[in-house]
Amino acid sequence: MPGTAAGKPTALRDTQKSTQSARSFMSRKIWLPKLLYALLPYFYFASGLVAFLATIYISDWFWVLPHYLLFSAACIHFGVIVYRRRNRNEA
């Protein structure tokens, strides 16, 4: 039986409850309005493009540039993935 830092034994089911509640929170399905659901890949594209164009205006903050570029690449990648998965069966 695992113990705590205080030396008191803890029941395994207590630790299982905490991991199950975190797991159920992460795997919980969410509902989006139909308009937001339809616009999600375009939002990813737009935010990626804006972040990429923002790097043009940053001249002094060199530590920010890699973060903007990484964010823009991730957003464009997510936009492509979401768009392709939704339109996979239409062709």
Confidence of residue 14 (pLDDT cuts 50, 70, 90): low
Residue 10 lies in a domain: no
Residues 6+ apart with CB under 8 A from 9: 1, 2, 3
Tokens at residue 84, please? 């392709």
Residue 4 lies in a domain: no
Q: How many domains does the chain have?
A: 1
Residue 56 lies in a domain: yes
- Condensed to tens digits (0 to 9), the pLDDT of residues 30-89 reads 888 999 999 999 999 999 999 999 888 887 777 888 899 999 999 999 999 999 999 987
Residue 15 lies in a domain: no
- Write down the pTM of the prediction: 0.63
Range of the domain at 76: 30-86
Residue 22 lies in a domain: no
Residues 6+ apart with CB under 8 A from 74: 48
Helix then strand then coil, % of the chain, to nearest 5 = 65, 0, 30
Residue 7 lies in a domain: no
> Tell me, what's the pLDDT at 65?
87
